[in-house]
Structure 1
Amino acid sequence: MNDIMNELYWRGLIKNKVPGIENLLKKPTTMYIGFDPTSDSLHLGNLLPIIMLIHFQKKGHKSLALIGEATGFIGDPSGKKDKRIFLSKEILQKNTESIKNQILKLLKFYSEKIELLNNYDWIQNIYFIDFIREIGKHFPINYMISKDSVKKRIHNQKNGISFTEFSYSLIQGYDFLYLNQVKNCQLQIGGSDQWGNITTGIELIRKKTGKKAYGITFPLIIKPNGIKFGKSDKGKNIWLNEKKTSPYKFYQFWMNISDVEIEKYMRIYTFFSKEEIEDLILQHRKHPNKRLLQRKLANEITEWVHGKKISKKIMEITNVLFEKRNESYQSLDDKILISIYNHIPHMVISCEEFEKGIFLLDILKKSSFFSSKSEVNRALKVNSIHLNKILIKENILITKKNIIGKKYILFQFGKKEFFIIKIE
């Protein structure tokens, strides 16, 4: 069973570890990973802890997935510059149920039966005075403020850190103690920003029971802007819920990973063997223009998250939009046009509004891609707007002759962005 560490090392899934972990993992070990329900959906970064759960389970260890409904009332201050916005009990319960269903769906795909827990089940029964007496007494203030999550916030003169968030690490530490006593859990795993919280739990177990506990962290997935994927970063997040991030946009995220990063992502985000990945990397390096690794990864993860049926549709749409460059959109049948409309950004224009035609500037100003007509004009000047695959260089009047498939008009902005209009 010790080969789990070798597996995680070559995949690049180890950032920090407690010494001696290799000896522990020579025998079946119970481990857990926590999930924060401060949103109603998991995101791309949350796939990594699920992948870790599956790796451990496949190697014969016992994996526990913990949803932190109780800690969600506070919100983890780790990596946050400002104080958390508190969520109501009703919202947290709804989020918890939603995330629970997402986790179960993702685990079912790989036929893994992993126990799912909710820390509200045991924390709701604890009295505050008992907690600060029995748990708080073990941690000097100097120890608490040495944690990065606290230290950075203390020096934030604008907001600082509240006692509520200050206490978060102790409550997460208590989760580890509880699971250690009730489930014989000896290992906690989390993202690298969780190292302070994990070591608090390890220290609490040592002081309360005299036992040794362990921790591992994996690297955080960072967006191009240098910020980690997180629930509080609403703008450019990649969500697993198709209503928050369309399957098409989800698929394109993986397709657009650079050649510099793609080999790392293949090791991290798939369960292919070392030999299979090395063979795929070799093929990719011979013909990088074919984007073999990007395509393989996008297909694999989209099918995992959104299912085979949707994944197949997205691959078909991608083929039409990006691969069939010499074929006219006029030849597309209604079935594929409906599928494109359902999966990429779109807008409806009434037949009455379109009767005499609409100028390009007026249509694109209504789209989500441009904030003003001057921005559209700038795009026209640099030849970055296509209408049904035809380059547009001026503010033309768009009429019925531009319609494809009886009621659609398809725009492309630059190399990767698409927008479709339906006339009805």
Structure 2
Amino acid sequence: MVFMEGLDLITRLYGLALVCMSLLIWSYAVLVVPATCQWKKPGVGFVVPFVIGVLAVAMGKGTDITSSYIFAEVAGMLVVAGLAALGTRLMYSPELVAAVLGSAGLFSWVWFSMSSVRRFLIYQNPHFLWLPFGWLLLLAAIQLARTRKWPDWGTPTVILAASYPGWLFLSGNRLFLPIFLKTLGLVWLFACMYREAVRVSQAELQQARTVLEDFERAVGREVKLRMLELERAKQRLADKASTDALTGALNKKALLQEIDSLLVARDRDVFCLLMFDIDEFKQLNDKLGHVAGDMALKRLSRIVKSSIREGDIFGRYGGDEFIVVLPHTPLSDARLIAERIRQRVENDKTGPPITLSMGLAAYPLDGETGVALVKAADDGLYLSKSKGRNRVSHVRTEQNEQ
């Protein structure tokens, strides 16, 4: 009598522990497990045995408490096991027939579990308690024969958890086995749920990290592109501010700045200036019009740019007057470059014939300031005009020759 009372107390305590464990698994499934996890629905289904178990214990009286809880837990586990079986089979196999057969086998197996409990309670026949375990092995064998691999651990775990309520009525030294196996089944299910939740969370985290990296790369590319466009826009503005709109040569301000930069350079090497204008440009404008005059200036600019070297500086000083700055160039080489430009302009046949009068100035021979050098080159230009135009002149050289 004392033994049976102790057994009944142990059974009640164990039933209460299972209720709490069911609530724990349900809470974890609802609050933690991602929606994409295959264990989400089975975990949420644990609220069924929790609610039914609490109602059974609350409404049971005397010895009915144990039996009512056992039947209630079996009924609750039926829902959980069905959700697990349907979820795993539909996830890993697209065949609806396999899912239906698996669920039907599960329902029939749980019926055996309930039948075993009932027969034991009524007829005190413990042999029927082995039927659920045998049916579990049979389902595993069928699954193994059909797929040539061991069944997915999730479904057998839920089935195992649903099978052992009937084993709680085993007495004597066999009581430890069902208690241990039932607890092991629930813990195993919780572990499966936890591993799957971690896997899904890590996958989502990796996906989020990949999206973030792609976003950062896209933003980086966009920033670089915008910076490049900004630099180009700044360069265009700078070019526009320093370039003559008609000829594309430097304007007067930018040209004088280039001359000053050569004068303040550390090496202060020799350089020369070529100053020239179009002979009888006013008559060309009056005769052919200002449009023809503008075309002549553009043509002159094109010829000069193609005749000077990389690093030489070409600018429009004003009106039809232009200056070419020749860094690191002695006077003798500057005269050769000036003659090349003059001859190419004279021989050009792409428009009305034009010629140039040119003046030379050398640093430091003709001056050590920008103003002095420009004046010396301008004097050479007017010397060329006074001697018949279409020629190159250097005032100091021609004075020495006289």
Greater helix proportion: 2
Q: Which has the larger radius of gyration?
A: 2
Flag the structure with more relative contact order, 1 or 2, with Cα contacts below 8 A and sequence separation at least 6. 1
Greater strand proportion: 1
Q: TM-score range by the shorter chain?
A: under 0.3
